[in-house]
Amino acid sequence: MPMAFSPGLLVVAGSFAAFRLLNRGLERLVPPPPSARRNRWKWRNIWTSLAHSVLSGSGALAGFYLHPEMSNDLVGTHPPGAHSLVAVSVGYFIEDFVDMLCNQKLHQSWELLFHHTVVIICFGIAVVLHQYVGFALVALLVEINSIFLHLRQILLMANLVHTTCYRLNSLINLGTYVVFRIATLAWMSRWLFLNRQNVPPVTYAVGTVGMAIMTPMNVILFYRLLRSDFLKPRREKEE
């Protein structure tokens, strides 16, 4: 039985190593602007996260487009590529967890560390058991919004806040946040509730706790983004 698990775990390990190498080489590929040189590790971290979001978000969309039957069975039906994509994401989240733990103070990163722990556990179950891969792929649709969330951070670090590019990205960021993050998490919570009789108690408990943690965290983040990008400038103009 352990041998059956090794391919997925090998993909996780390979993904961890690949994202680690990418993180180390990104400063040469994308040199930080003067405004970001005081926080070089953060610059590398955001670009690494952006690479994962593009890969996983587009991969999840392609998975449901090419295999629509997967949406009818989120537990047992999935193509091999979907399982590999979830395993790659587990490797990335482990790499990002280690990167933040080594370079950032705990009080600054505990929310993301907690988020990553929940994701690693939930996705890890899907990788090891070859079950709920479709459900994990739905969760990866969230990464479509993360693309614009990371672009926002890059523009902030590059001191490009007062540009049309930043404003446009802010609008797209909020729009995709509602569609691909809040709505997706709400749909996942609904699916768990409606299928509670078909899901083992332990898995159902893990999924329910995960959704209970993720949903309020994302609502709070949405409010922070709305306040930062749209409400504060208006108040400043009024003052």
pLDDT above 70: residue 235: no
d(CA 128, CA 87): 9
Taking residues 228-233, what's their average pLDDT?
A: 76
Residue 196: what pLDDT? 85
Please report which confidence band the pLDDT of residue 197 belongs to, taking 50, 70 and 90 as the band edges. Answer: confident
Please report which confidence band the pLDDT of residue 142 belongs to, taking 50, 70 and 90 as the band edges. Answer: very high
d(CA 22, CA 27): 9
Q: Name the least confident of 78-87, 135-144, 151-160, 228-237.
A: 228-237
Taking residues 37-50, what's their average pLDDT?
A: 94
Taking residues 117-122, what's their average pLDDT?
A: 91
d(CA 162, CA 194): 46
- Residue-wise pLDDT tens digits, 88-119: 999 999 999 999 999 988 878 888 898 899 89
Please report which confidence band the pLDDT of residue 234 belongs to, taking 50, 70 and 90 as the band edges. Answer: very low
Contact predicate 112/92, CB 8 Å: no
Report domain extents, the chain: 7-231
d(CA 8, CA 91): 10
First to last CA, the chain: 67
d(CA 163, CA 154): 13
Please state, in angstroms and as integers, the Cα–Cα distance from residue 90 to each residue in 1, 16, 59, 227, following that order: 21, 8, 14, 32
Name the packing angle between helices 133-140 and 106-129 (round to 10°): 140
